[in-house]
Amino acid sequence: MTRSPATPLPPPKARRRLRENAALTQAQLAARVGVTHETVRAWESGRTTPRGRKREAYAKLLSTLAEEAASRQAEPVPVVVAVGAGPGALSDEATDSLVLPAKPLDGRESGASEEPGASSEPGASEESGASEESGASGAGAGAESGADSGTGAVSGAGAEPGAGPLTGPEPGLAPAGMTPAQAFDALYEFSAPALVRQAYLLTGRRELARESVERAFQSAWERWPEVARDRDPVGWVRATAYEYALSPWQRFRLRHRHPEPPPADPGDRTLLNTLLRLPPPRRRTLVLYDGVGLGLPETAAETEASTPTAANRLLRAREALADRLPELADPQVLHRRLAEVASAERLRAARPPTVRRGSERRARYLTRAAIAFTVALIGTTALTLRTAPTHYEPPVSPGETVRGVPPRVAPGALSDEQLELRQKLRDQLQHGPERLTPRLD
């Protein structure tokens, strides 16, 4: 008996593109197929290939998404501006408990957490048929229960209480009717609270965390056409905020010399102090992988390092934390503790209009400074041209001795002794010898 050939699948990048064009997160697609979002991420990255019934269901779903995309292209569709789409922006990994403090470990409780050593191996046993079958029911049920309780993957709601929910379609898309300012405000309200918490884990300073996020969004507003078309706008802003927060120049600021009050809880204080003792590259890698929940390739790309280097930094950071806090040796416990430390502080971000106005004021200031510098440079150049000599004047050649007669030396500058003698002669009244007058005795 011969087996029927497997259903063909598009390349991994095409699978990811079809999902993003349908405005589906990895958790939503995983729930429809019946697998975990970690499995979908492995399929889209090309590390593993689906098999059996999961392959048939996945291929059928991708075929349906392709037909829907073709039908949408045949019809006049309003232009959309991406404000949060991308694998590292609004996926389940990024919308973790650093965004929603009450949210569980975004699928990590299913035991499918990606370790650095296993993620780089193409033959990982993550996709065995039995493990797929057994993990699908638990993960699918968890996703459905999370959606019902409001603590699951964020699909169209706000980022945190008080941050203001996003309305309309998926948070990764903004309809064409929105102005650039409205699209920027939507991106800011969705991602700014979580980014402030992440920056606080990196720096341990509340004001610096808020300032770094605001400065990153100001830079994004200055380059908004470029950022709006980026595949991962949140990742763009996050990388800019991290670079500003971890800049070595921050230590020279006067504000940095005054320590801020530590967390009230002793456990949070110990964890934060241990985290701040790590070198900045390892600290950033740990926050991105175990805090935000990015995959190892995405973490390596954002930190501008190779995947083995990022894995080595992550392992060293985990070892340092485990030496000081043995209970954090489990990545799931570490993920939860990082979320608790970040959520325990009152970290508030400014309103979007304030950030946009600050960006515009900064742009005007830099423009005026550039104009003033250009005018000063032009004036200096004109003055130099006006006062510069117009012809060459050869230097006076030194005198020579002729027939033993030394050359006449022009009087030069007086020495200190000569100046002192001249002043003395000028100050003292010079009296000549007394005049002798003849007398007759």
For 143-198, what is each residue's pLDDT tens digit?
333 333 333 332 333 333 333 332 233 344 455 567 888 889 899 988 888 899 99
Give the pair of three-digit tokens for residue 168: 């309309």
- The pairing of beta strand 173-174 with beta strand 81-82: antiparallel
Provide the residue ranges of all domains of the chain, joining segments of one domain with +.
Answer: 1-75, 78-105+160-350
Which residues, at least 6 apart from 142, have a Cβ–Cβ distance to it below 8 Å?
104, 107, 109, 110, 152
What's the pLDDT band for 377 if we cut at 50, 70, 90?
very high
Rounded Cα–Cα distance for residues 296 and 114 (Å): 8
Give Cα separations from 381 to 88, 369, 388 (angstroms). 50, 18, 10
- Model pLDDT, residue 410: 67
Q: Which two tokens stand for residue 267?
A: 């456990």
pLDDT of residue 116 exceeding 80, the answer is no
How far apart, in whole angstroms, are the C-alpha atoms of residue 219 and residue 223?
A: 6
Count the alpha carbons within 13 Å of 115 in the hemisphere toward its beta carbon.
12
What CATH homologous superfamily does 1-75 map to? Answer: lambda repressor-like DNA-binding domains (1.10.260.40)
Torsion over CA: 241, 247, 251, 252 (sign): negative
Which tokens is 295 given? 């995959």
- Cα distances from 372 to residues 143, 363, 375, 381, 386, in angstroms, run 58, 14, 5, 14, 21
pLDDT, residue 48, reads 85
* Tokens matching residue 227: 């950022």
What was the pLDDT predicted at 147? 34
Highest mean pLDDT among 121-130, 231-240, 340-349, 427-436: 231-240
pLDDT digits (tens, 9 = 90+) for 293-334: 888 889 998 888 899 999 999 999 999 989 988 888 888 888
> Cβ contacts of residue 407 below 8 Å, gap of 6+?
398, 399, 400, 401
- How far CA 235 is from CA of 12, 172, 199, 240, in Å, comes to 21, 12, 13, 9
Inter-residue contact 90 to 158 (CB < 8 Å): no
Tell me which residue has tokens 């699918």: 140
Which tens digit of pLDDT belongs to each residue from 338-358? 888 888 877 777 888 888 888
User: Helix or strand or coil: residue 173?
Assistant: strand
Query: Which of helix, strand or coil describes residue 405?
Result: strand
Using an 8 Å Cβ cutoff, are 360 and 314 in contact?
no
Residues 6-48: pLDDT tens digits?
Answer: 678 888 888 888 888 888 888 888 888 888 888 888 888 888 8
Q: Is residue 265 over pLDDT 60?
A: yes
* Buried-state track 102-131, b at ≥16 Cβ within 10 A, e below 16: ebbbbbbebebbbebeebbeeebebbeeeb
Q: How far apart are CA 250 and CA 242, in angstroms?
A: 12
Closest CA to 355 of 346, 347, 363: 363
